[in-house]
Chains A and B, each alone.
Chain A
Amino acid sequence: MAVEVRIPTILRTYTGGAKTVDGSGGTLAEVIDSVESGNPGIKSRLLEGEDLRRFINVYVNDEDVRFLSGLDTTVTDGDVVVVLPAVAGGQSGR
């Protein structure tokens, strides 16, 4: 299953400057693994342990995967995965 993965500016150091890379797999987790194999290091910027990082938004076909099945979200041929760093902050941390 070939899917397009859109990479935000701040992570393009891992993709040689590319805005989009190809991924493959039946779930988001598999797609991330396939992207990691061609762009070593990017996975650790997306995941913390077994979960997506809290301040990284990932969308499959425009749906935030947090409202789908997270890393288990199903992807199929032609789907588009978008990665966007959350814009967040505030006067006191959590």
Chain B
Amino acid sequence: MLRIGREVYDEIVAHARRDHPDEACGIVAGPVGGDEPTRFVPMTNAERSPTFFRFDSTEQLKVWRELDDRDEAPVVIYHSHTATAAYPSRTDIGLAAEPDAHYVLVSTAECGNGAGPVEFRSFRIVDGIVTEEQVDIHQ
């Protein structure tokens, strides 16, 4: 199960709406071993694409170093799908390299940049196996 604070949830959704129709991406960091996503870190989608995302490599190194310095892990890795469901694609599964992360998918297919409904789902992706998990949003 992913437990996530309302504020962080809202920030992820706002980022996804803002970047629509391009895919938005980022992480939520939290203390190593704590499984608690607390620090929202939006990332640049270097691809600026409606069908693909990739963290900017220079930004990724900087952010990963900050994680090390703060004893944090990327507890959540999120990105949006802007025309399809919030479910990991074959590409997402093939490239998932963090077995301890919660992979959050947000679909803005229905709402676009607007205030309409979004789909927000969370998955574990380990060795190519996708397991959906419950999302518990707390205040």
Q: Do A and B come from the same complex?
A: yes
- A interface vs B, CB < 8 Å? 8-10, 55, 57, 59, 62, 64, 66, 82, 84-94
Interface range on chain B (Cβ under 8 Å from partner): 20 to 34
**Chain B residues in 8 Å Cβ range of A9:** 98, 100
What separation, in Å, do the CA atoms of A62 and B63 have in the docked complex? 12
- Name which of A62, A66, A92 has the most chain B CB atoms within 10 A of its CB: A92
**Chain B residues in 8 Å Cβ range of A87:** 25, 27, 43, 54-55, 60, 77, 95, 97-98
User: By the criterion CB–CB under 8 Å, are A93 and B55 in contact?
Assistant: no
User: By the criterion CB–CB under 8 Å, are A82 and B79 in contact?
Assistant: no
- Pick 26 A–B contacts, CB within 8 A, sort by A: A8-B97, A10-B97, A10-B98, A57-B57, A64-B58, A84-B64, A85-B97, A86-B54, A86-B55, A87-B60, A87-B95, A87-B97, A87-B98, A88-B54, A88-B55, A89-B53, A89-B96, A90-B47, A90-B49, A90-B89, A91-B23, A91-B81, A91-B83, A91-B91, A93-B91, A94-B52
The residue that A86 contacts in the complex, of B51, B83, B95, B99, with Cβ under 8 A, is B95
- B interface vs A, CB < 8 Å? 23, 25, 27, 43, 47, 49, 51-55, 57-58, 60-61, 64, 77, 79, 81-84, 88-92, 94-100
What separation, in Å, do the CA atoms of A86 and B61 have in the docked complex? 10
What separation, in Å, do the CA atoms of A94 and B84 have in the docked complex? 16
**Chain A residues in 8 Å Cβ range of B64:** 84
User: By the criterion CB–CB under 8 Å, are A10 and B99 in contact?
Assistant: yes
